[in-house]
Amino acid sequence: MNALSTWLQARPYRLTVSNALLLALLLGVIGSAPLFEIIGVAAVAIAGLAFVGRAVGVAFRWRGRGQFYDLVLLWAPGVIAIILSLAAIGLISANSYGSVAYVIGVALFGVELGMLIIGGSDAANFPASLSEPV
Amino acid sequence: MDFPIFHLDIFGNRGLVATIAILHVLVNHSLAVGMMPLVACMEWYGHKRQDPRWDKLAYNILFVAFLITTTVGAMTGIGIWLSVSLVNPYSIGSLIRVFFWAWFTEWLVFVTEVCLILAYTLTWKKWSEGKAKERHIRLGFTLGFFSWVTMALIVAILGFMMDPGNWMSEPTLWSGITNPIYLPQLAFRTPLAAAMAGIVAMFLAQFFTRGDAAFRNEALRAIALWTLFFAPFVLIAGFWYYSVVPDVMKENFGVAIATLQFTDWQQKFLEIALVTVVVILVAVQVAIARPNLLPRVAMLAPLVAVIWMIGHFERVREFVRKPYVIGRYMYANGFRVDDYPLLQRDGILAYATYSNPLTDAERAGLPQGLDDDAREAKLARLQKGKDVFMITCSRCHTGHGVNSITGHLQRMFGDQPWTADLTTGYIEGMHQVRSFMPPFPGDKKELDLLGEYLEHLQNNLAPIPGAQTAGIIVQAAPALRAAGIDQSEAIAR
């Protein structure tokens, strides 16, 4: 338990990602598509706003210095996560509870919401140039 | 009917062509069309940043591509020609008549491409500084362009085979090239090849950057971005491509993706396809966001996924154009649509230059109690029935192997005797029930002969050999007609 606690504390986003995964699991088990749509879209909106806000801040700091490649690296993971998490919600809505597509949708939503949270955390810690590894 | 019939009764003729063609597409798209511009970009990036690690990685990936494209790629390219010429010489003959100059141009471009890849690979270490390096990078992009042109020319022919468009009323090379499926298919294959190359390069980069974790992460990120850049274009062009596929062909999708036996499997296939796309996207996403979390083995998943997807895509593309091998012009059995009225009036055997002799094993399993005369008469009818089968069915069906005629009859009629009445009643109208089947091309008598032969196959499990092993018998009358000699004149001589 201590090891888990230490591991979670080592990176602040780990706890948030764990919560996101539990949320996806819970919504998936409940099996209500409208509930998943409302809470899922809200979760993506909150994590997305955090990501976008931080990414805009970094891009603003890079004015005139950041290369196009750096900008793509900054934005791509979060944007993909937003698109794929919304696609996952669409998949859940379009398929019946318990079907393979539904399970894939729930798993994808959890992973992508987690990636979006990680993207937001990374955006807050971006160096001046990302041509070198983080 | 002017050629002896090559036939593989276990693997199937379609299996031969499909194996060679799919292997060729995988190599061509991922290691030539998509990979050459990617390698050139990596070389340019390394030169721009004066980072020798990029240059080394690009060279190592190019060397793998060079080895595979000049061996497996080149051999399967020639293999497609050989296999389709053996399996369906009539369709390839028709295509050559229409696309002669396009193919001739493609041959010139292909030879240029081979010369360029040799030059690009062999001069890499010599042209490594200053102006020579810049020239070498330009050589790489030129090679990429020529690789794309070969694909662009061949795609015109593939599109034509699905839907010839205006060519049916205006049979010119230009109207053949500008078929309705050409541009959408080219627009789809171009970013697909680039994305495939990215996935293969990510897999290879893990092996070529061992011992330098920082560069491994940097390389994975950059290549994943390349892959990601093309992904939306694959999707958009994919929709465009799908939208121009004729509705009649779309009805064949269910059978195309899984075979007739597994039509119900369509939903399962779509779910697997969905998992495949998700696996590829997530792998690319993680490679961009957290490349250090990607173990080497993880890149196997998108690699296998993309190979699986492309294999099925090609299979579906080949199948949906059924019952035609060239849309509305030639049926999959090699008969032109316009020749059907003549063949159904005179019968196909009247025009068959060659007969396919029954082997001793194929003569077994005759009904008991036949005297010598009845036995000879039965064998004569079976010989004709076999000829009808070989000419009209064997381009797609085997006797007892893959996609076997006996397998289909067993599924439809079970263990009851497959009498001629039973099977011919179905074959006569099968094209109305199964939209992917061509109408029977022969006359009523030949249909009965075919029915009798199919009944024989129920009791005889011997493989049906092709002309390559059993040889042929030259039929006098059709052979003389084919040679332009009047039969009575020939007898008089």
pLDDT exceeds 80 at position B223: yes
Structure confidence at residue B292 (pLDDT):
87
Structure confidence at residue B377 (pLDDT):
94
The answer to whether position A27 is within a domain reads yes
At B28-65, the pLDDT tens digits run: 999 999 999 999 999 999 999 999 999 999 999 999 99
pLDDT exceeds 50 at position B464: yes
Task: Please give the distance of CA B26 from its chain centroid, rounded to a whole number.
Answer: 12
CB pairs under 8 A between A and B: 49
With cut-offs at 50, 70 and 90, classify the pLDDT of residue A128: low
- The percentage of chain A sitting over the pLDDT mark of 70, rounded to a whole number, equals 93
Structure confidence at residue B103 (pLDDT):
94
The complex's ipTM works out to: 0.81
Whether A125 and chain B come into contact, CB under 8 Å, resolves to no
Residue B279 structure tokens: 């696996």
Query: Mean pLDDT, to the nearest integer, of B484-492?
Result: 52
Structure confidence at residue B257 (pLDDT):
60
The answer to whether the predicted template modeling score (pTM) of the entire model surpasses 0.90 is: no
Show residues of chain B in contact with A100, CB under 8 Å. 268, 271
Domain with A101, as residue range(s), is 2-124
With cut-offs at 50, 70 and 90, classify the pLDDT of residue A97: very high
Best probe of the A interface among B51, B216, B221, by most A CBs < 10 A, is: B221
pLDDT exceeds 70 at position B480: no
Min mean pLDDT across B80-84, B234-238, B489-493 is at B489-493
Higher pLDDT, B252 or A132: B252
Instruction: Round the average pLDDT of chain B to a whole number and report it.
Output: 90
Structure confidence at residue B493 (pLDDT):
41
Query: Mean pLDDT, to the nearest integer, of B345-367?
Result: 92
Q: How far is A30 from chain B (nearest CA, A)?
A: 22
Cβ <8 Å between A118 and B275: no
Angstrom distance (rounded) from CA A32 to CA A82: 21
Structure confidence at residue A65 (pLDDT):
72
How many separate domains does chain A show?
Answer: 1
Structure confidence at residue B258 (pLDDT):
55
The CATH code of domain B13-331 reads 1.20.1630
Q: Torsion angle, CA of B250/B254/B255/B259, rounded to 10 degrees?
A: 150
Query: Mean pLDDT, to the nearest integer, of B350-379?
Result: 91
pLDDT exceeds 80 at position A85: yes
3-class secondary structure, A19: helix
Instruction: Round the average pLDDT of chain A to a whole number and report it.
Output: 87
Q: How far is B288 from chain A (nearest CA, A)?
A: 7
Phi then psi dihedrals of residue B336, to 5 deg: -75, 145
Domain locations along chain B: 13-331, 342-492
Structure confidence at residue B316 (pLDDT):
85
Q: How far is B400 from chain A (nearest CA, A)?
A: 35
How, if at all, do strands B330-331 and B324-326 pair?
A: antiparallel
The answer to whether position A58 is within a domain reads yes
- The percentage of chain B sitting over the pLDDT mark of 90, rounded to a whole number, equals 74
Residue of A nearest to B291 (CA): A133
pLDDT exceeds 90 at position A62: no
With cut-offs at 50, 70 and 90, classify the pLDDT of residue A7: confident
pLDDT exceeds 60 at position B491: no
Q: How far is A77 from chain B (nearest CA, A)?
A: 6
Q: What is the DSSP letter of A126?
A: -
Tell me: cis bond preceding B439? Omega within 30 of 0 counts. no
pLDDT exceeds 60 at position B468: yes
Structure confidence at residue B60 (pLDDT):
97
At B91-138, the pLDDT tens digits run: 999 999 999 999 999 999 999 999 999 999 999 999 998 899 999 999
At B63-73, the pLDDT tens digits run: 999 999 999 99
pLDDT exceeds 60 at position B335: yes
Cβ <8 Å between B225 and A73: yes
Task: With beta carbons less than 8 A apart as the criterion, state whether B156 and B99 touch.
Answer: yes
Q: Out of B214, B271, B285, whose CB is closest to A77?
A: B285
Structure confidence at residue B248 (pLDDT):
82
Structure confidence at residue A130 (pLDDT):
47
Residue of A nearest to B221 (CA): A73
For tokens 């999959």, name the residue. B332
